[in-house]
Structure 1
Amino acid sequence: MAKHNLVPLIILFLVVGILAAVGYVAYTIAQGVGKTTREKMERKHIAVTKDGMKVQVKGIRDEEYKDNTQSVLVNIWNHTSFPAYKSRLWDMSGKEGTAKKGAEKRKPHAK
C-alpha cells in the first residue's frame, strides 16, 4: 500500500528534474550566445553597458577624419553642375578661360 503512495511522488520528481535539466541547457546556450556576441561586438569596438551602447572609432585620428570628409565634399562640389543657376561671382558653366578671376577650381586637402 505504501508503494502506491510513492509513485506520484516519483513521477513529480522526474518531471521537475526533466524541466530543470531543460531550463539549465537553455540558460547555458543563452549565456554562450551572449558571450560570443559580446566578444564579436568588442572586436568591432562596440560596447553594450547598462547605460547604453558605446561605439569607439579606433585607428583614425580626428584630423584624418576631417581631411577625408573635406575631400569628399570638395569632390562632390567639383562634380556638381547647376544648369539654371547663373552666379554673379563666378562662371559655373565649366568653360575654362571665361570669367574665373577669383574663383579657381577647389582642390582637396593634401595629406
Structure 2
Amino acid sequence: MRTGPRPARRDRLLIGVYAAIALGALTATWWQNIRFLRSEDNGGVLGFVRDGYANPAAASISNDIIFVLLAVVVLMVVEARRLGIRHVWTYPLLSLAVALSVALPLFLIARQYALIRRDAEPRAPS
C-alpha cells in the first residue's frame, strides 16, 4: 500500500543515485574499518583517531572530514526544520557510527521525499 504522492522519474533517478552512493560508501568505508579492527594492537577507537593523524596528509583529510561533518550537521538540522523531516538526530549519529558518506546520501533521500510531499500539497491562491 503506497502513501503519499508518486515521485516523478527525475526524483526516482536522484533517489536511486543517492542510494547507490550510500551503498558504495558503506562498502568502501566498512571494508577498511573491518580491516582495521581485525589488525592486532589496533588501539580501538583511539587508535583509529590516532592513525587519522599519522602524518600531515592523513591529518589534513581528517580535519577536512570533521569540518565537512559540522557543516553538514548544520545543513541537516536547518533543512529538517524547514521541510518537517523527523528524527534528524539519527543522521549525525549515523555519521559518527557508520560514516558521513553513508549518512549524508540517506539524509538527501529523506529530504527528496520531503520535497516531493511539499510540492504535492495544494497551494493557497495568492
**TM-score of the superposed pair, with normalisation by structure 1:** 0.29
Q: Which has the higher strand share?
A: 1
Q: Which has the higher helix share?
A: 2
**TM-score of the superposed pair, with normalisation by structure 2:** 0.26
